[in-house]
Amino acid sequence: MKIGFTYDLRSKHQPDEYSPADYYGEYESDETVAGITDALTTLGHEVIQIQ
């Protein structure tokens, strides 16, 4: 099965002094994206990353 995996990386966004405490709540680390992609690939899926 082809799976489109959408995400925003934390490394592409930097909070400023007015950002809320949970600023990074919507963003993923490179390690998380790689882990999810690897897990889905191991299960036999084709993962298309959409950043």
Annotated domain spans of the chain: 2-50
Q: How many CB atoms lie within 10 A of CB 11?
A: 10
* Beta carbons of 48 and 4 less than 8 angstroms apart: yes
Q: How many CB atoms lie within 10 A of CB 47?
A: 18
Per residue in 19-36, pLDDT (tens digit) is: 888 888 888 999 999 999
* Beta carbons of 5 and 41 less than 8 angstroms apart: no
Using a cut of 0.75, tell me whether the model's pTM lies above it: yes
Q: What is the mean pLDDT of residues 9-20?
A: 86
